[in-house]
Structure 1
Amino acid sequence: MQTQSTGFVLTRQSRDSRNGTEIILWLKTEQGPARLVVQGDKPVCFIREQDLAQAKQQLHKAGLNVSYKPLALKNFQHQAMVACYSSSIRDSLQLPQTLANAGIEAFESDIRLADRYLMERFIQGGIAFSGVPQQRAGYIEYSQVKAKAADYKPALTTVSLDIECSEKGVLYSVGLHSEADSRVIMVGQPHNEEDASCGWIEWVEDEKTLLLALERWFIQFDPDIIIGWNVIDFDFRLLLKRAEWNAISLRIGRGKQTPHWRKSTQNPNQGFITIPGRVVLDGIDTLKTATYHFRSWSLESVSRELLGEGKDIHNVHDRMAEINHMFRHDKMSLAKYNLQDCKLVTRIFDHTHLLDFAIERTCLTGVEIDRVGGSVAAFTNLYLPQLHRAGYVAPSLDSENWIASPGGYVMDSKPGLYQSVLVLDFKSLYPSIIRTFRIDPLGLVEGLLLEEGKGAEQAIAGFRGGRFHREKHFLPNMIENLWAARDQAKKEGEKAFSQAIKIIMNSFYGVLGSSGCRFFDHRLASSITMRGHEIMKTTRELIEAKGYEVIYGDTDSTFVSLKTSHSAEKADEIGQMLVAHINQWWAEHLQAEYSITSALELEYETHYHKFLMPTIRGQETGSKKRYAGLVKQGDEESIVYKGLETVRTDWTNLAQEFQQELYHRVFHDEGVEEYVRDYAEQTRSGTYDDKLVYRKRLRRNLSEYQKNVPPHVRAARMADEVNKKLGRPLQYQNGGWIEYVITINGPEPVEAQQSPIDYDHYVDKQLRPVADGILPFIGKYFDDITAPQLGLF
């Protein structure tokens, strides 16, 4: 008997079975986990009608079982299309190459069966379904399924997982932290009665028993989401290796199914994991997707920056030695350490609302919750089903014909130390250009059909030959809806929702300008960026016509010097006046010139009471994307740094602290000479030795650095030579982060420093560039200040 329900899609797979293709959807519903088995849908791609006879011949010869159906669809070249339905997923994977060998293009052949099923029904997370239910162990299975989109937000259960192991990868313990249960499964015997009576440690005999206990935990507590730190590429990779070594399937998926781990084809050090019915979210990847940035991505560093707490062990060798020592002599401490890592990850997710962000992104785009990046997939999900309903098949990826589009507008800056600088920003400039000028893949195809004179009034001119139809388009409306939803989310304080919308909306230009997107056309991307250039240049002219000076412009921001110092009230008044004037001008101009309504919105962003626009180091030309400014809000003030040493990870704490104090003094008209002189002298005397460490990433394997061997690579090689002598594992051969100092014998790793510090290096290469970036604007010079004082005899 058919029943109806709603839920949220957790995982999706498709497979070949004896009964044909099957799509398996695992859901979270009000009634608990559900497994939907969808039968009858077949993998489909499209070919040109003119290629049909040859395609049939080639596919038959290859032994592929394919059926064909003419459709009222055409490609972007307006050629009639035919659908090719494969009877199996295996055949569908062979079909594109078989056709390509015969010179026949298969359109949309890369869209996976489960993705297409959800996409064509506009299912974005929330799903309404009917089917015949059957109770299974721990879930309900539905057959004869029919599904459609639904507005459903789930309450998902989460567990934070972390493992501890030996340097050879033998498991010591697994930490699990959730609302339902927190425990550490520990190999070995308790050392004393107190350890034995500890209720949150589950003692097991050996590694195999630990893995079986982990299976039982997942069956009992049944979480929807597994979170962790580098949890896929480290924890799960190792768990599956050890399960294989112990001849265990590790059935931690729903329905006692096993995980599947696969390597990335692009990056051999990165992997992906599929656990039926459960989603794995890596903290690092999810934070990056949500556009967070940190100096270091270690759990220690991120938790200290976000939460103000971290771990006690820092050096990787000390950490390994200490873990080994705790496992042998103090298992209680190891268990606490293990569980603390789990709790830190949980707190980071809670603090940043990461799970909410991931759910909202799925609800907005239909991409999987655990999808890393995924801008192209999100755009495809949203756009493709609308395109089909408009009678078109999407183009294939065609990076061979890729033509670069101009980047964002960046104006040559006017270097100087300024009083009262305003920043005026266009709100979401590229999305507003798309909305205003109807920039859209379908709009381009339809716009190019309109001849000059005949129907020309229906086209809006773009750049590089682009023409866009005024009425036939999807993207402008998609952005308008997202824009309204974001305004509402901001009004209601829904930060995760607002952030998800912002990232998606701003990704649309990047997608259209990417050769990795099937809808790429240089006329699309150029019509956005070149229009942006035009808008920014005209805006500058409008500001300067009012008697103010534009000293810099960058993508969507314009920096306006008011020429003299202004009070906060007066500066705000001028800023609001300029914004109102420019928005009104654009509204009238675009209506008169193109008969379109402007969605451009200039906003008054900031008043810098003092502002530094430096020169390019060693030149008189103004720099780009580098500046600093003093902001005051009531009684509070702060200095904002962009692109300068203070916010760059490749500069030392020595330089950063020196810059912050020096800029504070200059911006407040305080004396600087004594401070600069003392700081240089104290650096030479060793007072600041704790601030001299460089930290840099090895982006390649150590052996790949041959011709140019930069300082951090030399330090890493030296560190691993020391590791080898001491019988420790080599740490830097496959990349990673290295901390080093510059000595009189060159760069040396912090953990194996042997030579005295080269203080002249730090004065010349860290302090002097910082000082030279600002002192000349007040008529002073680092070398003059730090020159040895001549005594009188």
Structure 2
Amino acid sequence: MSTSKFEHFSGFVLTKQQFKTQNGFALCYWLATDHGPVRAIVDQQEAVFFILASDLEWATNALADQHIQVRTSILPLKTFQQQIVAALYFRSLTDFYNAKKYLSTHHIRILEGDIRHSERYLMERFIRGSAQVAGNLKRGQSFSTLSSTKMKSCNYLPTLKMLSLDIECSGKGILYSVGLFGQDISLVIMVGEPQDTTQDIQWVNDETQLLLALELAINEYDPDVIIGWNIIDFDFTLLVRRAEQLGIELKLGRAAQKVQLKDSKVGKLLVPGRVVLDGIDTLKNATYQFSSFSLANVAHQLLGESKLIDSDDRLAEIEWQFKHDKLSLAAYNLKDCQLVWDIFEQEKLLDFALLRTQLTGLDIERQGGSVAAFVNLYLPLMHRSGYVAPNLGDHDVHFSSPGGYVMNSEPGLYKNVIVLDFKSLYPSIIRTFLIDPIGLIEGLANPENAVTGYHEAFFSRTEHHLPKLIDHLWQARDEAKAAKDKMRSQAIKIIMNSFYGVLGSTGCRFYDPRLASSITLRGHDIMLKTRAEIERLGFRVIYGDTDSTFVALNDEFDTQLCQQTGRDLERHINDFWQNYCENNDGLTSYLELEFETIYSPFFMPTIRGSVTGSKKRYVGQVEGESGSLLVFKGMETVRSDWTELARQFQQELFERIFAGESVEVYIKQTISDLMAGKLNHLLVYRKRLGQNLSEYVKNIPPHAQAALKFQLDNPDKHFQRGQWIEYILSQSGPIMVSGGPVIPDLEHYLEKQLRPIAESILPTINLTFERFLSGQEEMF
């Protein structure tokens, strides 16, 4: 029989819970450690919220009348309005929630009442995933239990055991099979009669046996992390719902604990002791971008592999295979598991999720959560400055903050253009000009010792946290860059850049438009002064966008001279801002301009039908390791809703013009081939349904029209929101490609695909598209 022994060791928090005990309530943290999973119990806890000290006497008497047990204390804390607060502590979670409800009903202002104690406990100890723990350890066969636990922050990174899970089911949600794939497992649990096969298939009689077999397989394999594709909103949601309908407690958690599913966006799923990580959300958090986040598309883009079923009507094929070819369905099920596993392994997505937790303190599976990450990082620092956090909407300042500065462009074709980018402009503004929620409160109270912001904002020169927090992250990112740790560098960049968005979000308790405006308007001023200084030096600025300045250089400059000019401007502008900040505000400038790119040539188009230069649209040629490369920004080539005809035409047109070659013959031949029907294979539009097909009633877009027509001829075909529709525009309207032979409306493609592209660039080289249509061929 195992006995308890006092021990201390490092672990990484996988999941957390809070629960009632005979003596009040306790916290439970499941930890991954070098010695296996540990269930750490932190007992004798008190939940807390704050009220104004002026309300304390009434609140204490009122709660006593309601038989609610509470301990109170006046603390050296105050609100942003400089009001002293009192803390109310509860040993019972029931008393905590009842007190919140009762006091709110009687219009008592409650502060920080929405922070779960299991999160506050970690937050106040600066524990961000990694924890040094100590207590009485009782070792068990599959996990150990730590009681009387004490925790503090540390640096520890675990090695986690991962399992990929995927289910197959009917259109009505009837379970067919579950696939499991990992380092030492490759298994499909399938409903059906046993068949001879070399595949590892566990045959079961019905859904009930399938769920029980799944429970046994997961508990035996004992993963720390379960991964999948849309795994929370689809796979686990369906598994839990079917288990409920079949009267089964789905005990997939450690210590035979059941899965908990709630109707909420945050913390929807809890599998005690195991992290459930969705591949789609993790990729989005890491700023990956795809035209579609379907497994088929992402696997093709990242792995060069395909799903075993990738038809337009995948569900129908799955249902057919379950009835007639279960071995193929098992192979398909397992292949999906393996694709997800391979994506996670190749892109190191679990490493990214762990790193994000170490940087922000958010749960490993918590997706999005920029506001929550900011609160995690800022709240304990704010408390140490003597403040409690405000509630949403507590400020009384209301106006809209402007976005980033975008200059008017000077359209045209340029031989040499260099781009100068401010490195992490908004974080560097926060760091330089001391922009901070507490800094704003203290600065307004003591403007004589403050930096002037915008809209009558002042920021304390001495009382602030966010600039120091960014300074710490900035140094960590520089270290990551030096170590060529691209993942850590990218993760830190994402977090730093999110701070401006958080301060500008009405969904954040620290929102104040003076904060956001003092960042963006400072950015406007920096961009304008940078442009003025570059032009004072005799250079021509042709465009600027948020943090980037585009400078046209002399056509006679070679690559070496362009590079030298870029480096000289970088050095000069950085010196300019150092001197400006020191001389005007007595501040150290952390603004850092970087010479980023040489475009040679470079084209800035006009707005269609206008002589005014466009914004956020350009084409430039850069020299890479494998030769010249065209970079398209905001043009048809990078838009998924334009045809391959348009993309190829634009690409070829710019390649020829940038190379100084004639385009007349190419344009004429393209028009001739189009009208002769030789390019019909390039005329397909591809667009995703923004809603279910039945929801399109008025102003039905072409791709939905095509799907509706197809459905009339194929009543068994159903389309859902998010599905891609491929169609061709015929003279009778849009027709789906899979609907049979289509005669395209070639005039439409000439006018709506080729003409806009040609007219954006041809005037620059003294040509018009009309000349190619009017029979004036003397130029050839």
Query: TM-score by structure 1 length?
Result: 0.93
Offset, 1:94: 4.5
Matched residue, 1:767: 754
Question: Residue 252 of structure 1 corresponds to which residue in structure 2?
Answer: 252
Q: Secondary structure at the match of 1:5?
A: strand
* CA displacement, residues 81-127 of structure 1 (integer Å, 9 cap, x when unaligned): 01122343344345445333333221111111111011011100001
Cα separation, 2, equivalents of 1:675 and 1:312: 41
How far 1:466 sits from its partner (Å)?
Answer: 1.1
Aligned equivalent of 2:765: 778
Change (3 A) 1:780 1:130: same
Measured in 2, the distance between the counterparts of 1:696 and 1:92 equals 51
2:258 aligned partner, one-letter code: T
Note closer, same or farther for the CA distance 1:98–1:30 as it changes in structure 2 (3 Å cut).
same
Change (3 A) 1:609 1:40: same
Q: 1:236 to 1:431 in 2, by over 3 A?
A: same
Q: Which residue of 1 aligns with 2:687?
A: 696
CA positional deviation for 1:18: 3.7
After superposition, the C-alpha distances for 1:300-329 in whole angstroms (9 at most, x for unaligned) are 111111122222533331x33333343334
> Do the aligned partners of 1:446 and 1:469 also contact (CA within 8 Å) in 2?
yes
1:373 corresponds to which residue?
368
The answer (yes or no) to whether the contact 1:415–1:613 under 8 Å persists in 2 is yes
Q: Structure 1, residues 685-733: CA drift from partner, whole Å, max 9, x if none? A: 333333333233333444554443322333343444455x23x4x322x
> Does residue 1:103 correspond to 2:90, yes or no?
no
Q: Which residue of 2 aligns with 1:334?
A: 329
Further displaced range: 632-641 or 408-417? 632-641
- Counterpart check, 1:298 vs 2:294: yes
Matching residue's letter, 1:262: K
Residue of structure 2 equivalent to 1:232: 232
Write the distance in 1 (CA, Å) between the matches of 2:680 and 2:241.
Answer: 43
What's the counterpart of residue 166 of structure 2?
162
**Does 2:484 match 1:480?**
no
Change in Cα spacing, 1:762 to 1:86, as seen in structure 2 (3 Å) is farther
Residue type of the alignment partner of 2:766: G
Moved more, 487-496 or 307-316: 307-316
What is residue 151 of structure 1 aligned with on the other side? Answer: 155
AA aligned to 2:142 is G
User: Matched residues in 2 for 1:85 and 1:652: separation?
Assistant: 63
For 1:445, the equivalent position in structure 2 comes to 441
Is the CA contact 1:406–1:530 (under 8 Å) kept in the aligned structure 2?
Answer: yes
For 2:236, what is the secondary structure of its paired residue? Answer: helix
Pair 686,203 (structure 1): closer, same or farther in 2 beyond 3 Å: farther
**Of residues 292, 306, 309 in structure 2, which corresponds to 1:310?**
306
Q: Which amino acid aligns with 2:621?
A: L
Q: What is residue 417 of structure 2 aligned with on the other side?
A: 421
Distance 1:93 1:500 in 2: 36
Which residue identity lines up with residue 128 of structure 2 in the other structure? Q
Look up the equivalent residue of 2:386 and give its one-letter code: G
Quick one: percent identity of the two aligned structures?
Answer: 51
User: Residues of 2 paired with 1:477 and 1:265: CA distance?
Assistant: 32
- Do 1:287 and 1:354's aligned partners in 2 also have CA atoms closer than 8 Å? yes
Distance 2:705 2:96 in 1: 50
**Mapping 1:3-18, distance limit 5 Å:** 3-18=7-22
Structure 1 residue 404 corresponds to structure 2 residue 408: no
User: One-letter code of the match for 1:380?
Assistant: V
* Alpha-carbon separation, structure 1, partners of 2:757 and 2:366: 41
Matched residue SS, 1:439: coil
Shift in alpha-carbon separation, 1:751–1:272, aligned structure 2, 3 A: farther
The aligned amino acid for 1:622 is G
* Equivalence for 1:390: 385
In structure 2, the partner of 1:349 is: 344
**Structure 2 match to 1:494:** 485
Structure 1 alignment gaps of length 5 or more:
none
> Could you say if the C-alpha distance between residues 526 and 752 of structure 1 is closer, same or farther in structure 2, counting changes exceeding 3 Å?
same
- Aligned-residue offset at 1:392: 0.7
Deviations 1:130-169 (A, max 9, x none): 1222334511112211111111101111111112222332
Once residues 619 and 74 of structure 1 are traced to their aligned partners in structure 2, the CA distance between those partners, rounded to angstroms, is: 57
Q: 2:63, 2:296 → 1: CA distance?
A: 56
Q: Deviations over 1:151-194 (max 9, x none)?
A: 110111111111222233222221111112122222223444xx
Does 288-297 or 180-189 show the bigger shift?
A: 180-189
Alignment partner of 1:774: what SS? helix
User: Using the alignment, how far apart are the partners of 1:153 and 1:635 within structure 2?
Assistant: 38
Task: Report the CA distance shift for 1:744/1:210 in structure 2 as closer, same or farther (over 3 A).
Answer: same
Report the counterpart of residue 285 of structure 2 in structure 1: 289
Letter in 2 for 1:130: A
Alpha-carbon separation, structure 2, partners of 1:72 and 1:612: 61
Q: Give distance in 1, aligned partners of 2:544 and 2:777.
A: 46
Residues 309 and 332 in structure 2, CA contact (< 8 A), matched pair in contact too: no
Please list the CA deviations of residues 316-366 of structure 1 after superposition, one character each: whole Å capped at 9, or x if unmatched.
31x333333433343332222222111111111122221111101100110
CA contact (8 A) 1:399 1:515 kept: no
Distance in 1 (CA, whole Å) between partners of 2:472 and 2:235 is 40
Q: How does 1:630-709 map to 2 (within 5 A)?
A: 630-633=621-624, 636-709=627-700
* Per-residue deviation, 1:5: 1.7
Counterpart of 2:744? Answer: 757
Pick from 178, 183, 186: which aligns with 1:179?
Answer: 183
2-structure distance, mates of 1:164, 1:716: 26
What residue number does 2:202 align with?
202
Gaps of 5+ in 2: none
Q: CA deviation at 1:12?
A: 1.1
Q: Is 1:115 matched with 2:119?
A: yes
AA aligned to 1:418 is: Y
Native 8 Å contact 1:702 1:735 kept in 2: no
Q: Of residues 509, 530, 546 in structure 2, which corresponds to 1:539?
A: 530
2:518 aligned with 1:527: yes
Question: Residues 23 and 39 of structure 1 are in contact (CA less than 8 Å); yes or no, is this contact kept in structure 2?
Answer: yes
Query: Per the alignment, in what secondary structure is the counterpart of residue 414 of structure 1?
Result: coil
SS of the counterpart of 1:176?
A: strand
Following the alignment from structure 2 to structure 1, what is the Cα–Cα distance between the partners of residues 392 and 608? Answer: 42
Offset, 1:61: 5.6
Aligned residue pairs, count: 773
Cα distance change, pair 220–19 in 1 and its aligned pair in 2 (3 A): same
Aligned mates of 1:551, 1:623 — CA distance in 2: 11
Distance, in Å, in 1 between the alignment partners of 2:765 and 2:98 is 70
Mapped to 2, the partners of 1:692 and 1:313 lie a distance apart of 26
Question: How far apart are the structure 2 equivalents of 1:440 and 1:330?
Answer: 62
What's the secondary structure of 1:773's corresponding residue? helix
CA shift, 1:399, in A, is 7.8
Distance 1:786 1:234, change over 3 A: farther
One-letter amino acid of the counterpart of residue 315, structure 2? M
Instruction: Give SS of 2:600's match.
Output: strand
Are residue 460 (structure 1) and residue 435 (structure 2) matched?
A: no
Q: Please tell me whether the aligned partners of residues 96 and 105 of structure 1 are also in contact (alpha carbons under 8 angstroms).
A: no
User: How many Å separate the matches in 2 of 1:737 and 1:56?
Assistant: 60
Q: Deviations over 1:760-788 (max 9, x none)?
A: 22222122112222122111222322445
Aligned residue for 1:431, secondary structure, equals helix
Residue 366 of structure 1 contacts residue 378 of structure 1 at CA under 8 Å; is this kept in 2?
yes
Deviation at 1:273, TM superposition (A): 1.6
| 1:608 counterpart = 2:599 | yes
Instruction: Supply the AA of the counterpart residue of 2:229.
Output: W
Q: After TM superposition, give the deviation of residue 677 of structure 1 in Å.
A: 2.5
Q: 1-side partners of 2:777 and 2:351: how far apart?
A: 65
User: For the structure 1 residues 407 and 61, does the alpha-carbon distance in structure 2 shift closer, same or farther, using more than 3 Å as the test?
Assistant: farther
Secondary structure of the equivalent of 2:119?
helix
